[in-house]
Structure 1
Amino acid sequence: MPRPDSALPEASAPDAGRRERKRQQTLDHLAQTAYRLFETLGYDAVTMEQIAAQADVAKGTLYNHFPVKEALLAHRFHAELAATLAELRPALRQLPSFAQRLARILHASAHWSESHRAYLGPYLRYRLATLQPGAHDGGRYPRSGLHELFASMIADAQSTGELRSGLAAELLAHQLQFLHLGAMLRWLDRPGTTLRAEFDAAISLFLHGAASGDKA
């Protein structure tokens, strides 16, 4: 005869799913409210207290979900970037080489970044901080999926011989992500340059390294 509590795990699964959906809805609501205030008042002028009041939540609730403004910005941007990547995937599958697929992604990233330039400084500082060892968010917030896409593309290119297989795809994806973020920081710091050109330089560095093509 089954134990009386044997069905509890199954019964609790829908509850856990509902709680997670509710949590995600709260995160989205807070991030959307914050972004509207950023657009209306300017990012620097908006306080966490204003966001909480506009979202009609207690300050403690806001800080429990998002400890800093940059986290709200990242949540919003990652949702947008995830949607962009989902739209790109069919086109990526039609491209014959890793280099072409990578260029397509980063050129799309350049277009998106240029339309969000006013927010990229605080966003990138936050992203670089959360990429450091020991600074992970424990999966509390959705990511854009770019790192996973890089890793998958690199693994595929290694399997076909396009890229060297001596290094783990995960490691190479991590390095590529830093090149991606570094190119954006350089672009922000150099008025008059184009982000697409910075990304093309990053692609060349990733594919060919910094070695001279000349033989001794």
Structure 2
Amino acid sequence: MESPSPETGRRERKRHHTMDHLAATAFRLFEAHGYDAVTMESVASHADVAKGTLYNHFPVKEALLAHQFHAELAAGLEALREAIAAQSGFAARLRYLLAASAQWCEGRRDYLPHYLQFRLAGPDAAARYRGDRGASSGIDRAFGALIRSGLEDGSLRPGQDADRLTAFLQHLHLGALMHWLATPGLDLRAEFDAMVDFFLAGASSGGADAARRRGNGQ
């Protein structure tokens, strides 16, 4: 496989820089004026780019939000890497990650419905957005890494398919997040803890107690 030429590398770096600048500008406007009040035209004006440049990178306002969120999540996951690895066993590592995720989600609650609508609306909108971080938040890769590690160290039952478990965990995570968004007053950390219990033990009688014992290293 051929390496990208220096010129291609420069173009890619410029493209990534432009996308980061546009998304950061948009998010500052969202914070200052409210998400609904900000138009794509105002983003282009404040970022000092032509409207065509903005639309070339981000076809809809939600894509700007997705890019900003994915950048924040990538930085957060990288910062947590060593602390997560230091936890004992799969359950403890997952709970540590989800506690940090809950804190981030609580600070972005007003924006999450717009972000999730964009992500879940179907392939068309997301397919038109191809940022350097793509259409993934990165949480899927983090879950996958934790599951593979858990299968290797015996925290999870050997012989299970890592990709299937990752998909199950992603859907449980999304369900817990959407339940929290739809239900005022819920504690997201508690929702995520209940999600981990369910993932580890299911809904069988006595399963939650067993999950907590595993999570505590018993």
- Secondary structure at the residue paired with 1:117? coil
Aligned residues between the structures: 204
Query: What is the letter of the counterpart of residue 121 of structure 1?
Result: P
| TM-score, normalising length: structure 2 | 0.85
Contact 1:124 1:181 in 2 (8 A): no
From 157, 169, 173, give the equivalent of 1:180. 173
1:5 equivalent in structure 2: none
Q: How many Å separate the matches in 2 of 1:60 and 1:138? A: 15
Shift of 1:136: 4.8
Matching of residues 52-201 of structure 1 within 5 Å: 52-129=44-121, 136=127, 140-142=131-133, 143-201=136-194
Q: Which amino acid aligns with 2:26?
A: A
Change (3 A) 1:98 1:136: farther
How far residue 48 of structure 1 moved from its aligned partner, in angstroms, is 1.1
1:178 to partner: Cα distance? 2.0
In the aligned structure 2, how far is the partner of 1:135 from the partner of 1:121? 15
Provide the rounded CA distance (Å) in 2 between the counterparts of 1:36 and 1:138. 21
Aligned to 1:6: none
Which residue identity does 1:109 align to in structure 2? S
Distance 1:104 1:94 in 2: 10
Q: What whole-Å deviation, never above 9, does each CA across 1:155-194 have from its counterpart, x for those lacking one?
A: 1111223223444212221221222222111111111111
The alignment-based identity, stated in percent, is: 55
Cα distance in 2, alignment partners of residues 178 and 125 from structure 1: 15
Give the unaligned 5+ runs of structure 2. 208-218
- The verdict on how the C-alpha distance between 1:114 and 1:97 changes in structure 2, with shifts beyond 3 A counting, is same
Counterparts of 2:77 and 2:146 in 1: how far apart (Å)? 13
**Aligned in 2, Cα 1:139/1:97: closer, same or farther, shift over 3 Å?**
farther
Query: Would the aligned equivalents of 1:52 and 1:59 in 2 still touch at CA under 8 Å?
Result: yes
1:183, 1:125 → 2: CA distance? Answer: 16
For residues 4-34 of structure 1, the C-alpha deviation after alignment (integer angstroms, 9 at most, x for no partner) is: xxxxx67x61111111100100100110110
Q: Distance in 2 between matches of 1:93 and 1:82?
A: 16
Q: Provide closer, same or farther for how the CA distance between residues 134 and 43 of structure 1 changes in structure 2, counting only shifts above 3 A.
A: closer
1:66 Cα deviation from its structure 2 partner: 0.9
SS in 2 for 1:191: coil
